Amino acid sequence: MPKTRKAIYPGTFDPITNGHLDIIGRAGELFDEVIVAVATNSSKSPLFNEMERMELCKAAIAEVMPSAKNISVDSFEGLLVDYAREQKAIAIVRGLRVLSDFEYEFQMALMNRKLEDITTVFLMPNEKYTYLNSTIIREIAKYGSDISGFVPECVRKELEEKFKKN
């Protein structure tokens, strides 16, 4: 039986965007299994809690890629390399939007390789998503502007609800 090529795509996903989904789809074509790993980062104050972010990821993947059976969603806390080892992953997937992302991601990839000898695969999203990030999406949604071109419908609805409550 051939070895499963499993990759971890980590992130805060607060919220998941079309850019994230583009990377997930590309990773799903390269690996037998992709785990979208929602990070619990104590240094950040996310808009959505961990469970909400996981549910949004699942809903967005189901909405945009309903036939993608090799993609799952999980969460983790602590070092990514420890989680990757537990999952028996062979790679970490990271998206690079712009040149400024590279320096930080390169540093992290080298450290992860030193700690666990795991490969980091850098994927670039479609150019129409290079300017997207979750912080910008939250800011646009907060002021009631249309975000429908940036996130799946299920995420748009949840953002609108979240900001109505606040």
Q: Choose the catalytic residue: 58, 85, 97, 113.
A: 97
100 is catalytic: no
Mean pLDDT across 102-106: 84
Beta-strand ranges (E) seen in 21-161 are: 33-40, 71-77, 91-95, 119-123
Report the alpha-carbon distance of residue 156 to residue 1 in Å, rounded: 42
Residue 3 has pLDDT above 90, yes or no: no
Phi-psi region of 155 (alpha: psi -120 to 50; beta: other; left: phi over 0): alpha
Residue 30 confidence (pLDDT): 96
Cβ contact 131:97 at 8 Å: yes
20 is catalytic: yes
Q: Choose the catalytic residue: 44, 69, 164, 165.
A: 44
Question: Cβ contacts of residue 13 below 8 Å, gap of 6+?
Answer: 20, 36, 38, 53, 56, 57, 134
In 10 A of CB 22, how many CB atoms? 19
Q: Where are the domains of the chain?
A: 6-165
8-state DSSP, 68: -
pLDDT tens sequence across 61-91: 999 998 889 999 999 999 999 999 999 999 9
114 is catalytic: no
Residue 166 has pLDDT above 70, yes or no: no
Query: What 3-state DSSP class applies to 159?
Result: helix
8-state DSSP, 127: G
CATH number of the domain at 6-165, out of 3.90.1660.10, 3.40.50.720, 3.40.50.620, 1.25.40.10? 3.40.50.620
Q: Choose the catalytic residue: 94, 134, 138, 156.
A: 134
Q: Choose the catalytic residue: 20, 53, 138, 156.
A: 20
Mean pLDDT across 120-136: 91
Half-sphere exposure in the Cβ direction for 84 (13 Å, CA): 23
Evaluate if pTM is beyond 0.85: yes
Q: Which residue has the higher pLDDT, 101 or 4?
A: 4
